[in-house]
Structure 1
């Protein structure tokens, strides 16, 4: 029999008092694509489609996901509150079904031109909520004027409840991840600030041994803020051998590896080995850095 009638459960108003956060809508849009496909399969209907609030809107749903459609006239359709079956469901905040869609007088036929190519006769629409606010719609449709039975109704409503639960979980995960990232960023900034203060203080320390130990702490903080706390640690005592000091003193004059090898009677590869050892002991990233750290530690004049 033609007409529109409510299907429990449901209740409450649809349009919310404030704009819904974009991350929630993005999460719902991500959930809807597979949900529309699985809903059509589980309910064995001709067509399923749905969408979420248009970004920045409080009273319009955009249909973006379809399965079983004959064309694309419904895709990207904006369904406003109070217009069409979906608009009525959006405003009322509860599921509704209509048979003999094009002849029923209980809805505003604002979207008939978009619906007509799909040859829809019976449509069931369910609101998707986030808290008390309707943030999306799911539709099931048949191309014959047949009743949508209680079993399909219950299955569709439960399917929608699962989407709502998944939506709540997904948004909470994003919120906690964002909070963690923000806290980590604050912590890294705080450590970086502390390291800068420490580096300034090191220059005021007269004791070479104390400067060396403080420099080790500074380098450790640098590795932490750079996300590389697994980098090799400088030797506990930072002591260089006499030969390593000879090599480093020549490095400090700007000598190249070949010149150092000739001056000290070493092979170039041996010079490279000494430089690697020096860098490891001092926690240096390159030869210039090694000279700077050695001078700060009192190893070089």
Structure 2
């Protein structure tokens, strides 16, 4: 395993933790919670790693192959699958009857967590009586799947950016000084953009730490002491200005109005005692606030 892969794995929280959190949310949405379970999909195979409300251990660790059972169909077809009465369902294979029937499950919904056109996890909700599937359970499960897909997508992007940072810092075939600087600045801006979409506060904290570390590393050596503090939005605006973006381009990237960009830029310039946007960027870099 390379150093970059090691760093990314250390920084990335376990996806099982995010899955477990979503299963708790699903269960909490009902006065009488359904049985919920699921797990990650790797190389096309699902491994059920999380269960909630089960009475046996038969489902935990179960491996589900593509097109087999409800979960396998969800992996392959990339859309929710359900059975009103699992034991008598004729549209699925029954390779996993023993653990399912031993658990007493009858009505089951399987929802894929789709990222980049592939199933990355499967989440199930099941009842111990035969009932028409869909409705509220399907809606809650689908929304949970969408949230988890967004979380995994962000984590994937963070891993990619961490690998880029490691490449810039550790070497390999060393880029030119100009390429190194510009690459650092682009990665810094991308990390800050990810912060605004991160639904998990712990992940947002990790992103903040990476962006700050990159800003300091890019300067090299000791930084002057400063009590100047820029708000997150002020740093966002300056980061894009540093890349040569116009106010209109910054507004588009941050999904705010050009007048709002001007406001944050004026605030940052005032704090940095700068008379122009170029001077503001220069002083922010000298203080380690920007790469």
* TM-score, structure 2 normalization: 0.53
2:151 aligned residue: 166
Report how far residue 38 of structure 1 moved. 1.7
Does the 8 Å contact 1:70/1:118 carry over to 2?
yes
- The structure-2 alpha-carbon separation of the partners of 1:26 and 1:61, relative to structure 1 and needing over 3 Å to count, comes to farther
Secondary structure in structure 2 of the residue aligned to 1:94: coil
Secondary structure in structure 2 of the residue aligned to 1:184: helix
Which of 120, 126, 129 lines up with 1:141 in the alignment?
A: 126
Given the alignment of the two structures, is residue 33 of structure 1 paired with residue 14 of structure 2, yes or no?
Answer: no
Given the alignment of the two structures, is residue 96 of structure 1 paired with residue 84 of structure 2, yes or no?
Answer: no
- The structure-2 alpha-carbon separation of the partners of 1:73 and 1:39, relative to structure 1 and needing over 3 Å to count, comes to same
Report how far residue 154 of structure 1 moved. 1.5
Runs of 4+ with >4 A deviation: none
Does the 8 Å contact 1:45/1:140 carry over to 2?
no
Secondary structure in structure 1 of the residue aligned to 2:94: coil
Q: Mark the runs of 5 or more structure 2 residues left unpaired by the alignment.
A: 1-7, 176-216, 224-291
Q: How many angstroms apart in 1 are the aligned matches of 2:14 and 2:114?
A: 13
1:47 aligned residue: 35
Secondary structure in structure 1 of the residue aligned to 2:129: coil
Does the 8 Å contact 1:129/1:136 carry over to 2?
yes
Select the structure of larger CA radius of gyration: 1
Which of 171, 176, 198 lines up with 1:186 in the alignment?
A: 171
Given the alignment of the two structures, is residue 152 of structure 1 paired with residue 137 of structure 2, yes or no?
Answer: yes
Q: How many angstroms apart in 2 are the aligned matches of 1:26 and 1:111?
A: 30
1:108 aligned residue: 93
Does the 8 Å contact 1:62/1:76 carry over to 2?
yes
Matches within 5 A, 1:252-267: none
Secondary structure in structure 2 of the residue aligned to 1:74: coil
Secondary structure in structure 1 of the residue aligned to 2:124: strand
Report how far residue 182 of structure 1 moved. 2.5
Report how far residue 29 of structure 1 moved. 2.7
- The structure-2 alpha-carbon separation of the partners of 1:94 and 1:26, relative to structure 1 and needing over 3 Å to count, comes to farther
Matches within 5 A, 1:11-22: none
Does the 8 Å contact 2:125/2:137 carry over to 1?
no
Q: How many angstroms apart in 2 are the aligned matches of 1:102 and 1:80?
A: 19
Report how far residue 27 of structure 1 moved. 4.8
Which of 46, 49, 58 lines up with 1:73 in the alignment?
A: 58
* TM-score, structure 1 normalization: 0.51
Matches within 5 A, 1:244-283: none
Does the 8 Å contact 1:27/1:171 carry over to 2?
no
Q: How many angstroms apart in 2 are the aligned matches of 1:143 and 1:30?
A: 26
Over residues 35-68 of structure 1, what are the superposed CA-to-partner deviations in whole Å (9 max), with x where a residue is unaligned? 22222222553210111123xx2x3110001111
Q: How many angstroms apart in 1 are the aligned matches of 2:17 and 2:138?
A: 24
Does the 8 Å contact 1:70/1:117 carry over to 2?
no
Give the number of equivalent residue pairs: 172
